[in-house]
Amino acid sequence: MSFALIPTPLCGSEEKLEKFLSLISDIADTTYANEPRNVSYSWFRKSPLDQQDEHRCCGFEVYADELALTQAHRSSPEYKRMRSVGVEEQLFVHPTALIFLEPACANGFLAREVADVQFKHSQTNSNLIVVRRYITKHYEETKVLLEELNLLARKCREMEHVLTFMPLKRKDGVATEVSVLERYTSQEKYEQTQISLEELRYDEDIGQGEISRLTSRSGLELKVSQNKWTHHTGRMGSGTFDLRVSLKRLEALAELYQQ
């Protein structure tokens, strides 16, 4: 069963963050070339528009099943080197918690593009990524929130400058937390989208990174955090959350294994 991860590792300094991101770039290349059961492997760096002062980056990874992560992905030399360097050079302030996520809304979409999105290409440089995390008091509130997010996702499908709108819920049974991955063609288009969706958004401005309290249009009292990111490296699979392996990639892998 496919699942997603949104890790946000905290590094000890800006230099250590840059070291980690360089290692991630190597992992991204081999992941795309050799792991057909990886759907998306995307890593983002902090946007200048974000006010957080921590040395963090953000990942978005999607795998077809647990073995695609624990065996195929973590067995690569590039991944093992990252883990080794991370320990030897003490890149991280503390271990990064990994929370397995799954799609929460029928109208959510991973990428509007018809082909995989390569984040090393210049056309993605201006894209803005927003990750929001909503916290409710109990499951009944979460159900109402998901209805609102599903309506938002349907609206976003009609807006060409909204490239990703994917609400996600936890797979571990915690029913009071929902994450949303959003991607826009630019900061300007992001701001335009917030205005056009005003009737569905929330009464109180959302803070940067820190948790804010707000009330939704339906009367839900929520906590929410958000951070803004820009692309660093990797790719995002086209279409929905489903596993999509292109024939071109399968043929390339077949040739590799025959050598």
- H or E stretch at 66: helix 66-67
- H or E stretch at 61: strand 57-63
**Rounded to an integer, what distance in angstroms lies between the CA atom of residue 66 and that of residue 165?**
24
This prediction's pTM: 0.86
Q: Each residue of 52-89: pLDDT tens digit?
A: 778 999 999 999 889 999 999 999 999 999 999 999 99
Q: Each residue of 144-198: pLDDT tens digit?
A: 999 999 999 999 999 999 999 999 999 999 999 999 999 999 999 999 888 877 6
Domain ranges of the chain: 3-251
- Look at domain 3-251 and name its CATH class: alpha beta
CA angle 195, 233, 89 (to 5 degrees): 120
